[in-house]
Chains A and B, each alone.
Chain A
Amino acid sequence: METPPEPSEGEWDFYWCDVSWLRENFDHTYMDEHVRISHFRNHYELTRKNYMVKNLKRFRKQLEREAGKLEAAKCDFFPKTFEMPCEYHLFVEEFRKNPGITWIMKPVARSQGKGIFLFRRLKDIMDWRKGNAGKKLTSLEAQPARSTANPSGSHDARSSDDQKEDIPVENYVAQRYIENPYLIGGRKFDLRVYVLVMSYIPLRAWLYRDGFARFSNTRFTLSSIDDQYVHLTNVAVQKTSPDYHPKKGCKWMLQRFRQYLASKHGPEAVETLFSDMDNIFIRSLQSVQKVIISDKHCFELYGYDILIDQDLKPWLLEVNASPSLTASSQEDYELKTCLLEDTLHVVDMEARLTGREKRVGGFDLMWNDGPVSREEGPPDLSGMGNFVTNTHLGCVNDRKKQLRQLFRSLQGQKKASS
């Protein structure tokens, strides 16, 4: 490999950047062909809740037109959501049709569980609408963020003090709260899954085998909707719960979760659940495919938050463009360092890969301008045709071995061709 020229100030080949930097600099930064940057310019089409809903709704309508109701129903993994305040009247209509159910109000651009509250009565949000945001709002803001800075993707990086003064006029979404979440040990949890998108046009996405289930520290009950600690499973929120003991960690690796489900529901049910999750990843990416500016320099590692309900149906809660990479335990640290390492392998600055690989370390190629099949892997358990997607979420991750074999064979190929 030839030695690169001495980089002058501002010159770089690879940048794992903040979204705020991106917003300010991307449009007027020249990048050489080989340069890589870790975000897409308008990633918020996927990661801001209101845009995501809009894109998904639009995509669903398009699917219904082109392929019929059955196909469109595959996009029904997102709980009914209304943007506030512009869709307020539509929301009220829906609200009245379903009296007694619980709704959750989430700010579109904040993360770590900030600013979220649950409600059942229109009165609760009418107060909010009048600018009289519920006491929950200010008391939540007053809590300092315990984990290190995690760029929230919002346009304004305000300090918590500012936020106390002026009630934010930012957008919210009102979303139907999933009242029958799957519980383990009486506790609610959500899943964090990592998806790496290398390009949108064509759509190339990789799924990481590891991930984790994040548990709420307190027992789930609908009677305490004021207790945000029960309902919000974000580790950042749990860390501030009085019950939280750092030693507990409150996370399960996905492998453990998968085994637990298999012992309770059998392997077929688990296969179905995981392929429904694949469906979520792919469709959500497809819905923004035409909107996102697909710059060849860009790639993005998304953190998907998935909630499972008692019927083993997965729901998409949100997609994070900057998933937290701080570690809450040794196991967590290993997962995240390996995740980053494998991300760099796939980005492949060293140009070692041929581009035909279906697996790199813990990443499996999930979509390559079309579904990717497992082929040489074990036969399809569901018995429905031979096609099984090339995803192994929650499965054995023997990445070290695979990487060794991969790079050895790549080296061999290079030697042979030189």
Chain B
Amino acid sequence: MSYKWNHVASLQRPEIKLESLKEDIKEYFKISGWEKKLQNAVYSELSVFPSPSHPAAPPEHLKEPLVYMRKAQGSWEKRILKSLNSMCTELSIPLARKRPVGEQKELLNKWNEMGTDEPDLSLFRPVYAPKDFLEVLINLRNPNYENGDSLSFRTHLGLIQVPLKVKDIPELKEFFVELGLTTGQLGIDDSTQVPPELFENEHVRIGQKVLAEQDSAAAQQYIRQGSPTALRAELWALILNISSQPEDILYYEQLKTNVIQHDLLVDSLIYKDVKLTASNDDYYFVFEDYLYQVLLCFSRDTSVLGHFAYNSASPPKSYIRGKLGLEEYAVFYPPNGVIPFHGFSMYVAPLCFLYHEPSKLYQIFREMYVRFFFRLHSISSHPSGIVSLCLLFETLLQTYLPQLFYHLREIGAQPLRISFKWMVRAFSGYLATDQLLLLWDRILGYNSLEILAVLAAAVFAFRAVNLMEVTSLAAAEAVLADLSTLKVMPLLQIFLFATVT
């Protein structure tokens, strides 16, 4: 946050009295809106950083308190890096190289239409796909936990075999209390049959008020009931505490310059991912160019390294040629420490619906990544981490739809094998865009990804009748292949609040 020294300088005027200085400054902060901005900034830090821990705890504990999880994340990272390095050697492409001036000029000209470029990407493969990651999670074990060989009704029948604490439905009902049957929701109570006087009009009015007040905390509370389409872009920016200051735009331009000057191997991976996923999507294909503009800059953004303080993952290290092992010549690769995987670009695509100015779109995506998305592909014990989400999903299914769960397990169609890809992508590309945005409203509102697991379970519950009749994994996949017609909020409400438990 930058301080406007010219405002402070005005305090040097003669009418400022030393006796009342403290009160005057407080008053000044309130009037100028800076008090609100400070509050929002503090609130933002509180939302992102974990609560203070024991002073003697080493920094690794902040990343991930459980040793076995840290170890597992470490080996997974080694595997990814090995895969990246071998691709690099196989193709004889350097991890990074400076672009010749001619190439730089060309790229600058094509900046707004990089999608028209069709480089030969046939030799590149994604470094990993979600299902590779799932295999790692399935093999996670807590060495201090003895399950015993005997099966009991407490045995977890799913794929995840680590004893993390997850919420059950009564706890979820309490956590998601604003999604209850008696509270108005966008996504339900704004449907065509419901007269807008009942809920929608008032909700929109409150939303406008929240925006006028510029209060992050209030916005976060408000958005639990969904955001009106017209207010969503601003509300998300408020909750994420993003305001496009000149220095932010400058920063983005600087990243763009980095992209122009240097070519990274990771860029080809990004290109390939966009071409394979977003470009083939019926709706997101239009935003192809924005995706490159965001993701290529993202790879070079070293400020992202900051989030590794609370991410169980660590940025891969690479060494300047010839200086292997010498710490002074170690660099993080890619510069932001995040290696994209198959489907990564789908985190950005829905945001293109809301933000059209590249630097703002970039900031919003970056903030969403360091607050939420990173948890979906790193091994940790955090309640919003992918491991907990998988366990939550399986537990909900086993507890509340035991017959379905058992049946699917028997036919070799473990439910997690189907729902994993939904959760890793936060349902992007699987739900219709308007439904996805309503879902992501709640992620922001509750500052938690648990809703992804609940939705996944709710989808299975919704299609339970058909699923009971299938006899193979392929058939189960087919039943759940198309989620584009689903209405997210009714599904969640029914599953949490209207199912007899």
Contacts and interface: CB of A to CB of B under 8 A. Distances in A.
Interface size class of B (residues with CB under 8 A): 20 to 34
Contacts of B354: 263
Contacts of A252: 282-283, 286
Given A185-B290, A259-B433, A267-B230, A219 B112 contact: yes
Nearest to A184: B286
Contacts of A215: 286
Interface stretch (A49-57, A155-163, A197-205, A242-250): A242-250
Interface in B189-244: 192, 195-196, 229-230, 232-233
Interface in B323-347: none
B434 interface: yes
Interface string A247-264: 111101000100110111
A378 interface: yes
Given A247-B280, A262-B229, A185 B286 contact: yes
A259 B434 contact: yes
A248 B116 contact: no
Contacts of B195: 378
B352 interface: yes
Contacts of A409: none
Contacts of B288: 185
A396 B354 CA distance: 21
Given A256-B433, A263-B230, A378-B196, A185 B352 contact: yes
B290 to A, nearest CB: 7
Contacts of A267: 229-230
Contacts of A185: 286-290, 352
A279 B116 CA distance: 37
A75 B457 CA distance: 54
Nearest to A219: B113
Contacts of B286: 184-185, 187, 215, 252
B283 A186 contact: no
Interface string A305-336: 00000000000000000000000010100000
Given A185-B287, A249-B282, A218 B229 contact: no
Interface string B432-470: 011000000000000000000000000000000000000
B285 interface: yes
Interface in A326-371: 329, 331
B353 interface: yes
A290 to B, nearest CB: 38
A264 B234 CA distance: 10
Contacts of B352: 185
Nearest to A381: B196
A336 to B, nearest CB: 16
Contacts of A218: 113, 116
Contact of B353 (A186, A263, A265, A396): A263
Contacts of A184: 286
B113 A263 contact: no
A266 interface: yes
Given A185-B290, A250-B285, A263-B354, A219 B116 contact: yes
A186 B289 CA distance: 8
Interface in A203-223: 215, 218-219
Interface in A369-410: 378-379, 395-396, 398
A266 B279 contact: no
Contact of A266 (B116, B230, B289): B230
Contacts of B289: 185-186, 219
Secondary structure call for the B interface: helix
Interface string A224-253: 000000000000000000010001111010
Nearest to B434: A259
B443 to A, nearest CB: 18
B78 interface: no
B356 interface: yes
Contacts of B287: 185
Given A248-B279, A250-B285, A396 B356 contact: no
Scoring A185, A250, A260, A264 by chain B CB atoms within 10 A of each residue's CB, the highest score goes to: A185
B356 A264 contact: yes
A398 B487 CA distance: 14
B113 A259 contact: no
A91 to B, nearest CB: 34
A92 B354 CA distance: 44
A248 B277 CA distance: 11
B251 to A, nearest CB: 23
A379 B434 CA distance: 23
Interface string B347-362: 0000011101000000
B297 to A, nearest CB: 17
A396 B286 CA distance: 22
Nearest to A256: B283
B280 A186 contact: no
B233 A248 contact: no
Contacts of B230: 262-263, 265-267
A398 B290 CA distance: 33
A259 B233 CA distance: 13
A329 B282 contact: yes
A236 B380 CA distance: 51
Interface string B271-315: 000000001101101111110000000000000000000000000
Contacts of A398: 192
Contact of B112 (A186, A263, A266): A186
A249 B232 CA distance: 28
Contacts of B113: 186, 218-219
Interface in B110-159: 112-113, 116
A391 to B, nearest CB: 14
A218 B288 CA distance: 11
Contact of A248 (B280, B433, B434): B280
A260 B354 CA distance: 8
Nearest to B433: A256
Contact of A260 (B192, B196, B282, B353): B353
B192 A263 contact: no
Given A248-B280, A250-B285, A243 B116 contact: yes
A260 B196 CA distance: 21
Nearest to B284: A185
Contacts of B282: 249, 252, 329, 331
Contacts of B353: 260, 263
B109 to A, nearest CB: 11
Scoring B112, B230, B289, B354 by chain A CB atoms within 10 A of each residue's CB, the highest score goes to: B230
Interface of A: 184-187, 215, 218-219, 243, 247-250, 252, 256, 259-260, 262-267, 329, 331, 378-379, 395-396, 398
25 contacts: A184-B286, A185-B352, A218-B116, A243-B116, A247-B280, A248-B279, A250-B285, A252-B282, A259-B229, A259-B433, A259-B434, A262-B229, A262-B230, A263-B229, A263-B230, A263-B233, A263-B354, A264-B233, A264-B356, A265-B230, A267-B230, A331-B282, A378-B192, A378-B195, A396-B192
Given A248-B279, A259-B433, 19 more contacts: A185-B352, A186-B112, A186-B113, A186-B289, A215-B286, A219-B113, A219-B289, A248-B280, A249-B285, A252-B282, A256-B433, A260-B353, A263-B232, A263-B353, A264-B356, A329-B282, A379-B196, A395-B192, A398-B192
Q: Which 5 A-B pairs have the closest CB atoms?
A: A185-B286, A266-B230, A219-B113, A263-B229, A262-B229
